[in-house]
Structure 1
Amino acid sequence: MKLLYTVWCVFWLVLIFLLLFPGMYICLQREQWKPYAHWLNRLWGKLFFPMAGIRLEIEYRGQLDPKQAYVFCANHFSFLDIAVMGVIVEHYFAFVGKDDVKNIPLFGYMFRHLHIQVNRDSTQSRVSSLNRAIKTLAQGRSIVVFPEGGIRTKQPPQMHRPFMDGAFKMAIQQQVPIVPISLPINYKILPDKKPIRMHRYSMRAIVHEAIPTIGLTPQDVVSLRDKCFGVIDDELKRHHPSLK
């Protein structure tokens, strides 16, 4: 039954993307059209989860300014997190993600033209992606980052630590708030292990209050990083008492 459910989910994931891709492709041809490509990308997730029978439970604990750019930081235990962030983050944003996705047909094209790719094994690539993210924030567009640096933990829901500094450097550089996001259930829906199998759980996300960075300097990167980690970790512990 899990195999059949996985096939069902993959079918809808691919079909919806293929139906929306022509519109995405057109909107990616001009910079001023890219927000519409982003909207179609979000629509992909919004249509997929109901078809997969996954109920979304999203809790927003703070009031976010729709005109303000933010750096959104979430824990990362599952590849499902990428689709989830597109649904729960209502701002126009760019992902900072691994450049491996460029090899995925069609999806790689969309990601390459809409988001920021990084090869974390290359110092030059990390510096370049950080500079691009800072420029993106300066233009008023938000950034979404998984500050663990990928799916690195071996024992979800325990996060890999420490977080990488990039998200916090860019937030301080541009004096924009950090928004922690806790995703406590996704690793149960789509575990990061083989064979790939989807499981039916309600997806839960907690979008925490923004952490201001006004007045912070590069010397505050570590304290800001640890504060964000603590907010997400405390929420994970509330959902999984075994972590305490």
Structure 2
Amino acid sequence: MLKSWFSLLYTIWCVSVFVVFFLLMLPFILLGSWLAGSKNQFGLQLAHGAVRLWGMLAFIFMAMPIRVDWRFRPEPGKAYVYCANHFSYFDIAVTGVIVPGLYAFIGKIGVRKLPLFGYMYAKLHVMVDRSSAQSRAYSLGKCMRTLAQGRSIVIFPEGGIKAEHPPKMVYPFKDGAFTMAIQQQVPIVPLTLVNNYRILPDGKPFRVNWEPVRVVFHEPISTIGLTQADADKLSERTYQIIDSELSHSLSFAARHS
């Protein structure tokens, strides 16, 4: 019972922290988003900086450290396609803080309906209606233009939070991430979000559980010289890298529990 009450109080605290710091950063986020909509580079930097600061302050006040295993350090100014597993809405908050440089998420079009946050998301990121082939094609084209401009793409190639038994991912990955990476000849960087599904499980009741966030940046996979005929192999390799890390982490936790 005591643990349940602590979990509820901690959840309320975390939500309050996120909302308060969002409101504090909102003028800078909105200004940057508005300028970014006019293709203004300063606007992109301002909005990204404000969003990243929002997340950093939130995690500090939640007393929740983010521990990153940097097996690869991205080069400043270089574009990548970051592919991460997706079991929790917490994934967006974490990747928004740790992914360096300028980037765009691939997000569901329904997000744009959210007050204020939706406006920011639509201006800075790529929206897609996965039920529409036309929307998927338009979003893929926008992603490739984004990569060509030197901004990275952050994508969850499972196609949403769909895994029934985390940390086992949905198989196979959607092919969009690998198509755009090959066409633009930019590296794929597998990103393992190790334990977000335990911190904020996808389900009811809505609860935030405290534990340090763990993330792994894996070595990049080059796409130089690859063609669309290699997309499935690239997808499979990315899947296996992330899945192996998740399986290893689960085994380690079981041995030390």
**Shorter-normalised TM-score: what interval?**
over 0.9
Q: Give the structure 2 partner of residue 66 of structure 1.
A: 76
CA RMSD of aligned residues (A): 1.4
Shift of 1:62: 1.5
1:19-69 Cα shifts (integer Å, max 9, x gaps): 101111111222221221011111111111111121111111013211210
Instruction: Read off the aligned partner of 1:11 and give its amino acid letter.
Output: S
Structure 1 CA distance for aligned equivalents of residues 205 and 131 of structure 2: 27
Structure 2 CA distance for aligned equivalents of residues 207 and 40 of structure 1: 23
Q: SS where residue 10 of structure 1 aligns?
A: helix
Q: Give the structure 1 partner of residue 57 of structure 2.
A: 47
Q: SS where residue 14 of structure 1 aligns?
A: helix
Is 1:125 equivalent to 2:152 in the alignment?
Answer: no
Structure 2 CA distance for aligned equivalents of residues 203 and 76 of structure 1: 14
Shift of 1:241: 2.1
Structure 2 CA distance for aligned equivalents of residues 91 and 29 of structure 1: 19
Q: Give the structure 2 partner of residue 171 of structure 1.
A: 181
Q: SS where residue 213 of structure 1 aligns?
A: coil
Percent same amino acid among aligned pairs? 50
Q: SS where residue 34 of structure 2 aligns?
A: coil
Structure 1 CA distance for aligned equivalents of residues 72 and 212 of structure 2: 22
Q: SS where residue 231 of structure 1 aligns?
A: helix
Q: Which of 155, 166, 175 in structure 2 is aligned with 1:145?
A: 155
Q: Give the structure 2 partner of residue 213 of structure 1.
A: 223
Q: SS where residue 94 of structure 1 aligns?
A: strand
Structure 1 CA distance for aligned equivalents of residues 209 and 34 of structure 2: 37
Structure 1 CA distance for aligned equivalents of residues 9 and 174 of structure 2: 38
Is 1:94 equivalent to 2:99 in the alignment?
Answer: no
TM-score normalised according to structure 1 size:
0.97
1:211-244 Cα shifts (integer Å, max 9, x gaps): 10000001000000000001101100110129xx
Counting only pairs closer than 5 Å after superposition, residues 187-198 of structure 1 correspond to structure 2 as: 187-198=197-208
Q: Which of 6, 9, 18 in structure 1 is aligned with 2:14?
A: 9
Instruction: Report how many aligned residue pairs link the two structures.
Output: 244
Instruction: Read off the aligned partner of 2:17 and give its amino acid letter.
Output: W
1:68-102 Cα shifts (integer Å, max 9, x gaps): 10000000000000010011111210001111211
Q: Which of 16, 22, 25 in structure 2 is aligned with 1:20?
A: 25
Instruction: Read off the aligned partner of 1:84 and give its amino acid letter.
Output: V
